[in-house]
């Protein structure tokens, strides 16, 4: 089974096809609605302000060739101030469709992890970048948390634990490529096939 380690190269991304199962390794960043909205409004649609320059520079480095994970984790705080993930299941990704293509292009993302797939704008960005959408296992939050070996830091904790941007190191995080850089979306394919079956049942 192929393994990907961040930062990921264009060549590695182009070698992947929809349906491939891979193990993801390295440093990734979580980000849901609040994080994506913040990046669009503060970093992409207008000049970066001086008080946010350090955060922007950090994210540019972390996400360059990197992966963002649509995840609202359950996090344990230890006595020494460190953190660990108790649960790390994927969030439904379509909520980020309005933001995702711009974030992919601006930060040179190579992967987006979530569940449920995304739409045409994201698929187009994946082809142009290139990048892939990686489907994580829904309902397996505790199992996925076992792949999170270290919490390296957190940004925007004021958004709340689920919406903060957690910087984590993962080992052998299992994901499936369901949207590749060649214009194929398994989500679109399955929807079309399901519709065809439904029409056959009711006709």
- Cα–chain center distance at 80: 29
**Residue 97 in tokens:** 């469709």
Strand 165-179 relative to strand 132-135: parallel, antiparallel, unpaired?
antiparallel
Judge residue 197's burial from the number of C-beta atoms within 10 Å of its C-beta, 0-12 exposed, 13-18 middle, 19 or more buried: exposed
Active site includes 36? yes
Rg (CA), the chain: 17
Q: Which stretches of the chain are assigned E, i.e. beta strand?
A: 3-5, 21-30, 67-69, 74-77, 83-87, 111-114, 132-135, 148-155, 165-179
Q: Are 104 and 125 in contact (CB under 8 A)?
A: yes
Residues in CB range of 34: below 8 A, 6 or more apart: 156, 159, 160, 163
Question: Of residues 36, 70, 135, 187, which has the active-site annotation?
Answer: 36
Residues labelled catalytic: 36
């Amino acid at each position: 089974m192929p393994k990907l380690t961040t930062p990921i190269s264009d060549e590695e991304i182009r070698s992947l096809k929809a349906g491939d199962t891979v193990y993801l390794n390295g440093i990734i960043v979580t980000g849901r609605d609040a994080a994506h909205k913040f990046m669009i409004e503060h970093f992409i649609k207008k000049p970066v302000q001086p008080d946010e320059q350090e955060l922007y520079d950090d994210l540019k480095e972390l996400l360059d060739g990197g992966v963002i994970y649509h995840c609202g984790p359950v996090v344990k705080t230890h006595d020494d101030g460190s953190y660990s993930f108790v649960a790390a299941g994927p969030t439904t990704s379509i909520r980020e469709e309005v933001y995702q293509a711009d974030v992919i292009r601006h930060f040179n993302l190579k992967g987006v992890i979530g569940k449920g797939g995304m739409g045409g704008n994201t698929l187009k960005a994946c082809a142009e970048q290139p990048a892939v959408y990686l489907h994580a296992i829904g309902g397996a939050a505790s199992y996925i948390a076992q792949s999170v070996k270290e919490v390296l830091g957190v940004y925007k904790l004021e958004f709340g634990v689920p919406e903060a941007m957690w910087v984590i190191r993962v080992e052998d995080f299992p994901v499936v490529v369901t949207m590749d850089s060649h214009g194929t979306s398994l989500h679109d394919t399955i929807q079309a096939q399901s519709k065809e079956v439904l029409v056959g049942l009711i006709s």
